[in-house]
Amino acid sequence: MRWLLSDDVLPDWWTSLDTSLDEECTEGRFYACYWYYLALAYGVIALVAATQLIRIQQRVPDYGWTTQKVFHLLNFLFCVLRCVSFALYTLLEKLNEKNVHQAVAKLIVFDLPGLLFFTTFTLLVLFWAEIYHQASNVDTRFLRPYFIKVNVLVYVIEIILWGLSAVSLSHDWARYGSAGFLTAVSLGAVVGFLVYGCRLFSMLRQFPIESRGRHKKLQEVGLITVICSACFAARALLSVLYIVDDRDFDVDMMGNALLNIVFYVVCEILAAVLVLSILHRLPPKHKAPRQRTTQGTDYQPIGVSED
């Protein structure tokens, strides 16, 4: 499908810089290998997420699994997977794609963290949807089962695509099918963030100007909506470009070095850091049972649906 684009899609300076990055690493210069810096970045984010999860658990150990806790746990797992995959880059690079088991292992290492990233951030969409519908006096009990079903369906379809790729290693359609599916998944996340982000933003604007925390919540919701929508939209765009031209727009860790740096920083690291910084606040200290509350838009029990 490369015929859809001209041979000079990427500018000369981009190609030159990308080539120099590859040459620096192939010459054995450890400090010049970009994947170790990406592994370090994901490792730091994972450490921060784990630290925050532990602090929350120590602060309110009897609240159960809340939205905030689950988000930090998923963010930690996602970043650990990415960190390990980049740390083992040289080993993965040596895998033989003509070997079924090695090819499938490679696909899983590439795609599984992306799926976990989707689950992590669509959890925020679920949280916003619950807040919006509760404020509108609409039953929210259907939202969580729907969220689980959608995520299970996404993982099942991707597993099927991995299997098809394993039995069709010599055909491009399986890889293109996986890229196309991830494009659809990313666009679905964009729609979710835009719909409920805009609804929640509009609802918050209707609160009295003197309402405590109104301005800050408006900023947080607006910023998360814009950044997360842009991140998933960029993922979808690059997946489409990969289908059109898998030579110049290869973002499977083993392709275009400079494009991989831009992709993972813009599409994953930026969103992870942003939401971590916004959700850094700890919940209120433990109160007596009759005084306990779950007020606040960033800390509610996941297993409880409040009317």
Between residues 76 and 300, which one has the greater pLDDT?
A: 76
Is the pLDDT assigned to residue 189 strictly greater than 90? Answer: yes
As a whole number, mean pLDDT of residues 57-81 equals: 89
Domain-embedded: residue 73? no
φ, ψ of residue 301 in degrees (nearest 5): -60, 135
In a domain? residue 149: yes
pTM for this predicted structure: 0.82
Token pair for 219: 């900023």
| Contacts of residue 198, Cβ cutoff 8 Å, sequence gap at least 6 | 225
**Cα-to-chain-centroid distance, residue 64:** 24
26 pLDDT more than 70: no
Within-domain flag for 170? yes
d(CA 280, CA 168): 45
- Mean pLDDT for the stretch of residues 5-25: 63
Is 84 among the domain residues? no
Number of domains within the chain? 1
Mean pLDDT of 167-185: 74
Domain holding 173, by residue range, is: 97-278
The residue type of 167 is V
What pLDDT is stored for residue 168 in this prediction?
Answer: 65
* Position 234 in a domain: yes
Q: In the chain, which residue ranges form alpha helices assigned H by DSSP?
A: 12-26, 34-59, 67-87, 89-93, 100-135, 143-167, 173-205, 214-244, 257-264, 270-278
The verdict on residue 25 lying in a domain is no
Q: Is residue 1 part of a domain?
A: no
Handedness of CA 115, 117, 118, 122 (dihedral sign): positive
Is 164 inside a domain boundary?
A: yes
Residue 251 has pLDDT above 50, yes or no: yes
